[in-house]
Structure formats: C-alpha cells, structure tokens
Structure 1
Amino acid sequence: MNTLWTEFLVREGATLEDSGICFETPETEVRAVESGTVVVPLVHLGLIRSAGDDSVNFLHNLLSNDVKKLGPLAAQWSSFNTPKGRMLASLLLWNDATGQMIAASADIQPTLQKKLSMYVLRSKVKVADATADTALIGVSGASADAALANAGLTAPVAPMSQSVTGELRCIRLDQRNLVIAVPIATAPEVFAKLVASGAARAGTAAWQLAMIRAGLPLITATTQEEFVAQMLNFEVIGGVSFNKGCYPGQEIVARTQYLGKLKKRMYRVHVPGEASPAAGSDLFTPEFGNQSAGKLVNVAPAPAGGFEALAVMQTSSAEAGEVHLGSPQGPRLQFLELPYVLPEK
C-alpha cells in the first residue's frame, strides 16, 4: 500500500488493520450504508496491471470471461481458476490507458501476480503491481451519483461501464455502487471532495456489506480453491463466457453448466450473534448431519445486529431452509433476498 495514501487516511482519523480500514466502529459504519451514501478507501483490494502488445490475448487465455470483448469503456467480472475449475481469485477487470487493470483481494494479490507472471513466457506482456501508483475508492448509496457530481466527477450510466475524467476512471458496478481508480498523487484530493459533497467516510466493513447486498462475492486467501465459478453465481453476474476458447478450468466450468452437475449455490443470509463469524466457516444441516453442507464466503456486521453474509451451500439445504453455522447445533441462518434471480435447476 502506498505510504502517501495511507498517511493521508491516518490523518483523516482512519485505523489501518490487516483486514482493512475503519474510521468509526464497523457497526457504526454499516449503519451509514443503510441510511445514506458512503465513501470508502478500498485498501482491502490489490491491483495488478497487465500491459503490452499481447496483453488482451494473454488474459483472454487465462481468465473465465471474454477479455477480447472488453470495450475501452467497459468493465467485467472474471475469475482465475485451477485446472480443476476451482477459483483462485475473483476479479474486477477494466481497460485503462496503459493496458488492463485487475482488482482482487489484497491478501492474494502478490501470489496472483506471481502465478499470472508464470504464464507470460515469450508473450509481449508485463504483469506488475499497480497498487503503488493507483488507489481505489468506493462510493455506495442511493445518492452516489449526486456525490460524484458534486465532487466534479461524472458517473457512468450503465452497469459494468466506466467514465473517464482526466486520469481518473469511475466504474459502475450497479445502481448503488461505484469504484473510482485514481492516481495515488490525487487520491487524497478526490477523497476529500467526495466527503465534502456529502458522502460519509466509512471503512472496509461498510463496503463489504454493500457488496454482500449486491450479491458480489470476493475470494480471499481463506476461500481459495473452494468453489467453482457457478457456485458463486458468477455466470449470473456476467463473470463467465461459455463461447470463448480454453482457459484453466474451462472444461469443469463448462461441464458444470451443461451437464446440470451444479449442486451448490451462493445465497445471502443473516447470522445471529455478537461474535463475528469468519469467512470459510462451515455450515451444517439436518440433511448432511455432521458433514459440512457449505461455507461462508464474505461477512459484514448487519446494521440491526448480527451479521450479513454470502454463503455457498447445497441447494437442497437452502430449499429445506434449516442451515446452522459452525455445527449442527450452531446459530441458525435466516435467508435474505439477493438482487438477482438464480437460475432454476
């Protein structure tokens, strides 16, 4: 993480931890997500830049989405998988003036960069850490567009598209959530303008709650190699192309899609209790007894107490409706709505 950016955030009252950043308590900040618009330094994400004449083909041959169809003002979800189809990383990908930018969880960014570099061989591609020169800022809430406008920035209209203001790029994930990629040198100024425009400063927990409510999962070190892309609803959010050529894990992903072998899906749930459950925690159901029926993917405090989470589990368990955290006798999950419809079996 860049020192200039972090020193500014600390002066603004932020506390930096391995899990992310906070200005107030996480419980206070998630209430701001529900009641207004927040601006969040996305320090829990790392950035990789892929540049060079062969960069598009290079990424196209490695990732689950069709990078060749990524327009200059577009963005896309994608994944990098093992040969067995298990996700090593969930990715947000977009074009910029230098090549392609890839955002992934910061705790896996170094190993992801190393793995991608191993495939370069003789290709005209350079894979490099972009976290040192580019900051990501998230804006979430019903008035997100107005906050950007008041700060002198233009928000893109369509989901998974981007707008350009000088060296700054703004990516719309959905109606309420936008990501701004900005040079480190101007990140403090942009952040300050967004706060002055009415967005409340908030930390990682607030952004995680916004992403959970949007049904957008993030693979972290804890959950690597646990899921096939469809288990995380990646084909629903546009993160998988079934018309492109081969890539690592493609055979498994395609077989899962066309042979009807998908037995697990991702759902949004509420977890009661005061102790924060960890990503990767096992889920249990009467149907499976002492055998794990699924895992938590991402977790954030809920504004009214307890926690909200994205959880992958057996579809039969979700249909039965009785799922417990940690053990067959653990806290019972309550199912919440996702913003999109899951495909029927």
Structure 2
Amino acid sequence: MSMTTETNTPSLEELPSTFLVSLDNYSAISLKGEEQTNYLQGQVTCDVNSSNDDNLLIGAHCNAKGKVFSVFRLINRNSAHLLIQPKASLGGSISELKKFGVFAKVDITAKDELSFFALVGEQATNILQKHFNQAPDSLTPVVQSNTTTLVYIAGKQARYLLIDESPMLENIISTLNQPIYHSTLWSLLEINEGFPQLSDVSSGEYIPQMINLQAINGISFTKGCYLGQETVARMQYLGKNKRALYSLKTQLTQPLESDDVIEKQLGENWRKAGDILATYQADNGHCYLQAVLSSELDDSTALRIKSQPESKIIIQALPYSLVTE
C-alpha cells in the first residue's frame, strides 16, 4: 500500500495540531527465552525485573567502561523484551548483547519485520480511542490490541507509538486520515523533549549521565550489578560529571553541515563547546540541535555555529530537571 508523506519540513510552531510520523529509521532488539529477563538485567541500566506487559522503561546499554552503546525504550511484546531504538545505534548494541548472550538461554534478534509509526498531537488520544478498544496512558503506557502494540510516551505533547508488522500497520495508518511526516520530524520531537539520540558515530562515547539518562528515569541505582555499573555509580555519587545534554535552537541562513561545530565565546575568542548529537533544520531556517556541552553553561553563555558565525544559539528549557534531589 502506498502512503503519501509530506514533503515540507515544518518548525515546531508550524506543526499541525495532529499528525503521524513514519519511523522507518527505527527498529527493535528482541530478547526471548527462559533467561531473557535475568540476562538483560545484567546488561542494561534500567531495572528489567520491573518490566511487565503494561509498562514502559527507558534505559541504556553500556560497555564495560560505562559508555553508552544505545538508548532505548523497553516494552514487552509477544512474551519478548523489545528494546526500541534508532537503527543507527542498533548494530553495535546487538553485537555486544549476542557476544555475552551465548552463555544464556535467550534468543537475541533484530525485529526487522516490525514497522513503527508515531501519532502526535491534540487529537491523538481521541483518534486512538475511536480506532482501538483501549488507548494507552500514563498509568498503562503499553496496550496490546490484537496484533498491534500501542505505546504512550509522556512529554510536552501527546505522543503514541504504533507497532505491528508492515501490512497490518499500513492498513491501520490509512484509516487514521492524518498527514504523515518523514522520520526526521521525530528527531525534532526528541530534541524538544530532551531524549538522547545516538548514532553510529556517537555510540560508545558518553556515560549515561552525560546524556541526562538519570533525569529521565533511565538509570536504576538500586538494581545491582550490570555492565558498566561501577562507572555509572561513581559518576553519580562522586559528582564528577561535567557534561550534560542540551536542547538548542538557532536561525540559520544556510543548511547545517554534517561536520559543523558549536562554539562558545571565551573573552574575544571562540572555542569548541561540545558535540552535536542530532539536528533538525526547518524550511523557515529554524534549526534545532541536541548537543552534549558543559553542564555549567547558562543563558548568558554565547554560542554559535562555527561555519555561520553570525548565528546565535539559544538554550531551550528541558521538560525535566538535572538537579539531583
């Protein structure tokens, strides 16, 4: 079935009230077997023992040094654990999981047969309630309706994931009668919500606290040992982390280049401020960036794109606090 995708690239302010996003750049790692929970519990930052058919967990898969391979949303589907994430970070993560998984009774596979769409906006909840017997919510974030899995994602605006095999999901999407945007728009929404987006380039570069996972309930500090746990705990309790994930916005007159750099002003000079993880540039020139920068930055810090020195980067408010209670 052919579905028409919108060709424009809107800014946040230009988004329609309700819309769909084709997440063709997303997939999931499936872990299924007698020891799936015990095995995954020792590999990731979230408490897999608390996972059930109705809830949604956020977590990270790290290497032994505590550097993050991938950030995922964990759900259960058809008795398996699914680690939903961008395809860009999936390869390295699944290789490492399989490396240690040979010693456990668990099958680890990429769920290439699944498709992912997002329904976003003011009428998203009403639309789901009309088409399904139950819509997920903050109390029951994951709902199974026949073969389709529905996932509620909390944030600034209502967002839902719809997951199923391609033919079935395409039939459902066609009945929703909403504009469909390319997967790049999901990047804009994740930047706006402060949810870290890793690629094959940034995978393995940061410990979880450098990308704010402790602030979005992506780390359990009570679950016990897992790969990289010693580094993560030391960073949390000794307060040695000096970096954080930021949501940024600027206005550009030229397209952003893949190797562009964010600079900060130091006196009369400019120096590299940190690393860009994700970008989204709207047709009207509004550019949204997700970057790892010094955790000591504030609104008075002058930031710019190096290749466009006239640009002025503004730090955007995140929907969560980085201050530890």
TM exceeding 0.5: yes
**Per-residue Cα deviation, 1:51-89 (whole angstroms, up to 9, x for no partner):** 001001111100111111112211111111122222111
Residue of structure 2 in register with 1:284 after alignment: 263
In structure 2, which of residues 238, 242, 245 is the aligned counterpart of residue 263 of structure 1? 242
Answering whether residue 221 of structure 2 is matched by residue 242 of structure 1, we say yes
Distance 2:76 2:52 in 1: 7
In structure 2, which of residues 126, 135, 148 is the aligned counterpart of residue 155 of structure 1? 135
Distance 1:120 1:209 in 2: 35
User: Alpha-carbon deviation of 1:136?
Assistant: 1.0
In structure 1, which of residues 310, 326, 338 is the aligned counterpart of residue 306 of structure 2? 326
Give the 3-state SS of the residue equivalent to 1:230 in structure 2. Answer: helix
Q: Which amino acid aligns with 2:249?
A: H
Residue of structure 1 in register with 2:4 after alignment: 13
In structure 1, which of residues 26, 33, 40 is the aligned counterpart of residue 21 of structure 2? 40
Give the 3-state SS of the residue equivalent to 1:220 in structure 2. Answer: coil
Distance 1:162 1:13, change over 3 A: same
Q: Which amino acid aligns with 2:305?
A: L
Answering whether residue 146 of structure 2 is matched by residue 180 of structure 1, we say no
Give the 3-state SS of the residue equivalent to 1:206 in structure 2. Answer: helix
**CA-atom RMSD, angstroms?**
2.4
Give the 3-state SS of the residue equivalent to 2:24 in structure 1. Answer: coil
Distance 1:33 1:52 in 2: 46
Residue of structure 2 in register with 1:4 after alignment: none
Residue of structure 2 in register with 1:18 after alignment: none
Distance 1:330 1:252 in 2: 40
**TM-score, scaled relative to structure 2:** 0.90
Residue of structure 2 in register with 1:19 after alignment: none
User: Alpha-carbon deviation of 1:41?
Assistant: 1.7
The number of aligned residues is 322
Give the 3-state SS of the residue equivalent to 2:298 in structure 1. Answer: helix
Distance 1:222 1:102 in 2: 20
Answering whether residue 299 of structure 2 is matched by residue 308 of structure 1, we say no
Q: Which amino acid aligns with 1:237?
A: I
User: Alpha-carbon deviation of 1:298?
Assistant: 1.7
Residue of structure 2 in register with 1:24 after alignment: 7
Answering whether residue 147 of structure 2 is matched by residue 189 of structure 1, we say no
> Which has the higher mean CA deviation after the structures are superposed, 271-280 or 99-108?
271-280
User: Alpha-carbon deviation of 1:186?
Assistant: 0.5
- Listed as ranges, the matches of 1:1-345 within 5 Å are 8=1, 11-14=2-5, 23-27=6-10, 30=11, 34-132=15-113, 134-152=114-132, 154-158=134-138, 161-174=141-154, 175-195=157-177, 199-277=178-256, 281-287=260-266, 291-302=271-282, 305-318=285-298, 320-326=300-306, 329=309, 331-343=311-323
- Stretches of structure 1 that go unaligned for 5 or more consecutive residues are 1-7, 15-22
Q: Which amino acid aligns with 1:307?
A: C
| 8 Å CA contact retained: 1:297, 1:309 | yes
**Per-residue Cα deviation, 1:10-55 (whole angstroms, up to 9, x for no partner):** x2234xxxxxxxx31223xx56873311111211112211100100
| 8 Å CA contact retained: 2:20, 2:181 | yes
**Per-residue Cα deviation, 1:253-301 (whole angstroms, up to 9, x for no partner):** 1111111112111121112214443577532222495653211222113
Question: What percent identity do the matched residue pairs reach?
Answer: 20
Give the 3-state SS of the residue equivalent to 1:182 in structure 2. Answer: strand
Distance 1:141 1:112, change over 3 A: same
**Per-residue Cα deviation, 1:282-339 (whole angstroms, up to 9, x for no partner):** 3222249565321122211347532112222102233542122236946321122212
Give the 3-state SS of the residue equivalent to 1:258 in structure 2. Answer: helix
| 8 Å CA contact retained: 1:139, 1:178 | yes
Distance 1:274 1:83 in 2: 43
Distance 2:251 2:197 in 1: 22
> Which has the higher mean CA deviation after the structures are superposed, 264-273 or 314-323?
314-323
> Which has the higher mean CA deviation after the structures are superposed, 73-82 or 148-157?
148-157
Q: Which amino acid aligns with 1:48?
A: I
Distance 1:33 1:327, change over 3 A: closer
Q: Which amino acid aligns with 1:298?
A: A
Give the 3-state SS of the residue equivalent to 1:285 in structure 2. Answer: strand
